[in-house]
């Protein structure tokens, strides 16, 4: 299972939010490149970068930070936040992103998102499935988690799987930044449902709520392809040494 630390950016700084609420912003480092280099020094190969300014503006904003990290490290970066048009993707890929994540666009303009899958290939495009849990499994959220759609989580993922999507980042918003553990049960259900659909198999990336190192082997056992870790690293709940040993082991 791939370990993918998260760097969320507001005004060029490395920050974390709680449940996607911009009013909870906490700045962890003025220089995201320093943070990225620390991850790389610990043997980490992957990075999840979210342009929170872009998510609000519905267009790419912090591509200069992406370019700096991509040009000065060897990290493989997936980049998301406000990507709405082909021009945004061109800027992201030209700035060094290996993959991009589309969430709101996949809900609000599926024709454009599907065209990206065709144009760039399923290895370059990640489906962002951010959801608010409810009695029916969860409703997909959009626009930097400010809005809730009527789409159900698992049918949403299954529909895009049938259209060629392989990589899915699934975030339980209620757990994001809470350090209360991830949504094991929902991830298990997603993976179980995806098996019933024709190839390609879903590469599910767990996100939201990671709080202790012991949760990582459990997610790997479930079949998650990757896990995004944010606040648990920044709040020293999980050490870079633990992650380094997990990767080596």
Catalytic residues: 8, 130
Residues 6+ apart with CB under 8 A from 78: 4, 46, 47, 48, 49, 97, 98, 99, 100, 101, 126, 169
Place of tokens 């993959």: 99
β-pairing, 99-102 vs 125-132, is: parallel
> Can you say how many angstroms the Cα of residue 111 is from the centroid of all Cα atoms in its chain?
22
Contact 26, 15 (CB under 8 A): yes
CA distance 164 to 128: 14
> Which two structure tokens, joined as six digits, stand for 127?
């489906």
HSE (side-chain half, CA atoms, 13 Å) at 22: 13
Enter the DSSP assignment of 143.
T
Q: Sign (positive/negative) of CA torsion 81, 86, 91, 94?
A: positive
- Cα separations in angstroms, 8 against 19, 29, 120, 133, 236: 13, 11, 24, 23, 17
Q: Sign (positive/negative) of CA torsion 133, 149, 129, 57?
A: negative
Contact 96, 88 (CB under 8 A): no
């Amino acid at each position: 299972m791939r370990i993918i630390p998260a760097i969320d950016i507001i005004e060029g700084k490395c920050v974390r939010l709680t449940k996607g609420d911009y009013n909870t912003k906490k700045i962890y480092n003025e220089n995201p490149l320093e943070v990225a280099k620390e991850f790389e020094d610990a043997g980490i190969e992957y990075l999840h970068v979210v342009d929170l300014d872009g998510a609000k503006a519905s267009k790419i904003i912090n591509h200069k930070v992406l370019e700096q990290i991509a040009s000065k490290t060897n990290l493989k970066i997936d980049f998301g936040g406000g990507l709405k048009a082909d021009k945004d993707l061109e800027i992201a890929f030209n700035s060094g992103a290996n993959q991009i994540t589309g969430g709101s666009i996949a809900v609000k303009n599926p024709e454009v998102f599907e065209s990206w899958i065709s144009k760039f290939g399923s290895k370059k495009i990640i489906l962002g499935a951010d959801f608010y849990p409810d009695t029916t499994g969860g409703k997909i959220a959009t626009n930097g988690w400010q809005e809730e759609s009527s789409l159900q989580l698992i049918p949403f993922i299954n529909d895009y799987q049938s259209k060629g999507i392989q990589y899915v980042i699934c975030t339980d918003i209620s757990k994001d930044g809470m350090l209360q553990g991830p949504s094991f049960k929902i991830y298990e259900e997603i993976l179980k449902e995806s098996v019933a659909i024709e190839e390609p198999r879903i590469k599910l990336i767990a996100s939201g709520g990671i709080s202790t190192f012991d949760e990582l082997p459990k997610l790997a056992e479930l079949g998650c392809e990757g896990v995004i870790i944010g606040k648990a690293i920044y709040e020293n709940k999980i050490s870079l040494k633990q992650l380094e040993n997990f990767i080596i082991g």
